[in-house]
C-alpha cells in the first residue's frame, strides 16, 4: 500500500492548522467596541470635513448654537470701526484674523514658513520666573506672545524665522532616518531686542473632543499620576495646576501643550485675546504692552469686543465637535500594531480608560467612556524637545500628553502630517523618534522593531 498520499495529506493538514493558529491570536486581539473612541458620540467620517461634525443627539436649539459658534469660529474679524460691528475689534496686533486660520477645518495648524503669515504657528515668550498666580513674566514692550501682524498703520511686534539642521540616525536593522531640528530667530524687532528671552513655539491642534476633556473629573486624570515612579517603569506623569480667571483659583490644567489652561471657556477666550487681540469678559484689557502707544490709541470694537453670548457660542461649538470613530480597526497590521504599542508601554502615557462626569455644556457628554489616548498629564520628554520655558508647574522639558484621537485624519483634513508642538516632525514616525526622557525606553523599543512591525505600529496609530 502506498502511504505517501496519506502522509502528504497529514502534512498539509498540520501546516494548515499551524497557519490557522498563527492568525487566531491576531484576530482575538480585537476588543469589542474599541473603534468607538467616544462611545456613541462619535461619527463615521473620513473626508476633509471629518473634524467638523457635531456629536450625535443635539437638540434643535443646540444645533443653532453649534451653527452660530461655527460661523463665529470660521469668519474673519475686522479692525474697528466697521459696519460689521458684531465682528470688529481685531488687533491692533494679532496672529490671525479668524479661529479657523489656525485651526483650518477644526484641524491642525502648519509649521512656520519664513516670509509667510502664520497658518497656526505662534511664539510664546517670557522672562524667567513667575508672578503670584504662577503665570509667566511678560517681556517688557512685547508681552507673552509675538504678534507678527497688525492693522493698517500699526507696527507689528516682530517676525519669527526658522532654520533646520538635519539629525541622522538608524534603526537596529540598519535602516536610516533623518530628523529636522529647528532653530528660531527674531527679525524686525520693533520694540527692542528679544535676545535671551524664554521662547516656546506652538502649533494649533485639532479641536475635536474638547467638551469631553472639560467633563473629565479631576480624579480621572489623577488616577494616572505617578510623580515619583513608584512602579519603576520610567513613567512619572504629574498634573499641572494653573490660574483659572473666572473663579480666581488654581485648578488642574488640561488644555494646551503644557496643560496650562483649566477650562475650555478660558482656552477659547485666551485665543481670542492672544491670537486676535479681541477683548472679552475674561480678558478685558487690550493686548498692548507698554510702550506700544499706537496700539493703545487704536479704536476698539466696543467695551467687550467678544460678547459673552459670542464667547459662549464658540465655546459650545468647540465643546460639541465630535471625534471620528476609528478606521481599519480589525486589519491584521493594525491589531498587531496595537499589541506592540501596548508592549512598548506607549499606553502608559497615551491612556485610554477614562469616564466623563457631569458636563456644563450638555448632558450628552455625561458619563461617557472615552479612549483619548492621553492621560492629560505632564511628562518629561527630554532635552531634545525642551523649550526651556516654564508654564505654571510645567518645566521646560515637560509637555502634556497629546491625545491621539483623530491623528490619522490630519492629512485628509489639513493636507499635511506635521506633528509635535512646533511641527518639526513630518509624520508619525518622526514624532516617535523625537520622544525622549520618560518616553526614551518606548522609543528605543520602536527602533529595535523590524521594518514590518514598525509599520504595524504606524498603521495602528493612523487608525486612531
d(CA 134, CA 183): 28
Q: Across-strand partners of 170?
A: 176
User: How far does Cα 249 stand from its chain's mean position?
Assistant: 25
d(CA 7, CA 216): 62
The answer to whether residue 4 is domain-embedded is no
Q: How high is the pLDDT of residue 349?
A: 97
Q: How high is the pLDDT of residue 88?
A: 84
Residue 148 contacts residue 158 (beta carbons within 8 Å): yes
d(CA 413, CA 50): 7
Which contiguous run of DSSP H or E holds residue 24? helix 4-28
Q: How high is the pLDDT of residue 79?
A: 86
The answer to whether residue 426 is domain-embedded is yes
- Residue 280: strand, helix, or coil: coil
User: What are the φ and ψ backbone dihedral angles of 296, each rounded to 5 degrees?
Assistant: -60, -40
Q: Is the dihedral of CA 282, 285, 286, 291 positive or negative?
A: negative
Q: How high is the pLDDT of residue 25?
A: 58
Q: How high is the pLDDT of residue 127?
A: 95
Residue 240 contacts residue 393 (beta carbons within 8 Å): yes
The answer to whether residue 14 is domain-embedded is no
Point out the residues of the chain with pLDDT beneath 70: 1-25, 85, 290, 292, 294, 296, 298-302
Q: What count of Cα atoms within 13 Å lies in the side-chain half-sphere of residue 297?
A: 7
Determine the structural domain holding residue 349 and report its residue range: 39-462
The answer to whether residue 28 is domain-embedded is no
What's the structural domain count of the chain? 1
Q: How high is the pLDDT of residue 19?
A: 40
Q: How high is the pLDDT of residue 290?
A: 64
d(CA 40, CA 34): 12
Q: How high is the pLDDT of residue 26?
A: 75
Say if strands 176-187 and 159-170 run parallel, antiparallel, or are unpaired.
antiparallel
**Among candidates 244, 288, 248, which has minimal Cα distance to 265?**
244
Listed in sequence order, the DSSP H helices in 165-232 are: 210-214, 218-222
The answer to whether residue 381 is domain-embedded is yes
Q: How high is the pLDDT of residue 9?
A: 39
The answer to whether residue 64 is domain-embedded is yes
The answer to whether residue 288 is domain-embedded is yes
Residue 5 burial (CB < 10 Å; 0-12/13-18/19+)?
exposed
Q: How high is the pLDDT of residue 15?
A: 41
Question: For the CA atoms of 446, 452, 457, 458, what is the dihedral angle to 10 degrees?
Answer: 110
Strands (E), 192-314: 198-203, 241-244, 249-252
User: What are the φ and ψ backbone dihedral angles of 274, each rounded to 5 degrees?
Assistant: -75, -35
The answer to whether residue 27 is domain-embedded is no
- Residue 37: strand, helix, or coil: coil
Amino acid at each position: 500500500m502506498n502511504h505517501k498520499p496519506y502522509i502528504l495529506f497529514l502534512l498539509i493538514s498540520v501546516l494548515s492548522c499551524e497557519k490557522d493558529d498563527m492568525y487566531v491570536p491576531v484576530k482575538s486581539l480585537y476588543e469589542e467596541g474599541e473603534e468607538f473612541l467616544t462611545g456613541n458620540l462619535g461619527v463615521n467620517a473620513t473626508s476633509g470635513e471629518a473634524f467638523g461634525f457635531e456629536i450625535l443627539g443635539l437638540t434643535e436649539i443646540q444645533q443653532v448654537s453649534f451653527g452660530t459658534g461655527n460661523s463665529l469660529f470660521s469668519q474673519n474679524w475686522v479692525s474697528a470701526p466697521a459696519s460689521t460691528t458684531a465682528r470688529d475689534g481685531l488687533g491692533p496686533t494679532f496672529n490671525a484674523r479668524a479661529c479657523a486660520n489656525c485651526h483650518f477645518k477644526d484641524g491642525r495648524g502648519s509649521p512656520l514658513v519664513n516670509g509667510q503669515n502664520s497658518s497656526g504657528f505662534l511664539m510664546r515668550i517670557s522672562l524667567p520666573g513667575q508672578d503670584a498666580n504662577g503665570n509667566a513674566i511678560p517681556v517688557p514692550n512685547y508681552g507673552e506672545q509675538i504678534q507678527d501682524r497688525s492693522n493698517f498703520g500699526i507696527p507689528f511686534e516682530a517676525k519669527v524665522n526658522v532654520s533646520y539642521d538635519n539629525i541622522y540616525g538608524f534603526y537596529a536593522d540598519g535602516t536610516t532616518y533623518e530628523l529636522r531640528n529647528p532653530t528660531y530667530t527674531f527679525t524686525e524687532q520693533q520694540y527692542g531686542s528679544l535676545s535671551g528671552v524664554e521662547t516656546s513655539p506652538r502649533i494649533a491642534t485639532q479641536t475635536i473632543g474638547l467638551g469631553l476633556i472639560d467633563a473629565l473629573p479631576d480624579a480621572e486624570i489623577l488616577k494616572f499620576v505617578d510623580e515619583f515612579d513608584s512602579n519603576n517603569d520610567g513613567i512619572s506623569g504629574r498634573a499641572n495646576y494653573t490660574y483659572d480667571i473666572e473663579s480666581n483659583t488654581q485648578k488642574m490644567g488640561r488644555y494646551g501643550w503644557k496643560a496650562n489652561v483649566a477650562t475650555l471657556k478660558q482656552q477659547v477666550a485666551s485665543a481670542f485675546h492672544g491670537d486676535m487681540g479681541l477683548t472679552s469678559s475674561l480678558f478685558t484689557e487690550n493686548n498692548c504692552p507698554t510702550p506700544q502707544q499706537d496700539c493703545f490709541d487704536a479704536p476698539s470694537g466696543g467695551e467687550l469686543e467678544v460678547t459673552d453670548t459670542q464667547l459662549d457660542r464658540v465655546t459650545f461649538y468647540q465643546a460639541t465637535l465630535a471625534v471620528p470613530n476609528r478606521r481599519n480597526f480589525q486589519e491584521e497590521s493594525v491589531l498587531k500594531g496595537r499589541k506592540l504599542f501596548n508592549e512598548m508601554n506607549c499606553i502608559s502615557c497615551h491612556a485610554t480608560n477614562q469616564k466623563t462626569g457631569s458636563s456644563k455644556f450638555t448632558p450628552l457628554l455625561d458619563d461617557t467612556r472615552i479612549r483619548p489616548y492621553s492621560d492629560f498629564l505632564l511628562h518629561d520628554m527630554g532635552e531634545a524637545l525642551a523649550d526651556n520655558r516654564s508654564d505654571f508647574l510645567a518645566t521646560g522639558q515637560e509637555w502634556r500628553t497629546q491625545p491621539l484621537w483623530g491623528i490619522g485624519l490630519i492629512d485628509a483634513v489639513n493636507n499635511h502630517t506635521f506633528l509635535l508642538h512646533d511641527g518639526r516632525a513630518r509624520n508619525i514616525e518622526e514624532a516617535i523618534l523625537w520622544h525622549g526622557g520618560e518616553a526614551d525606553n518606548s522609543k528605543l523599543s520602536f527602533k529595535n522593531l523590524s521594518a514590518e512591525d514598525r509599520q504595524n505600529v504606524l498603521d495602528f496609530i493612523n487608525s486612531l
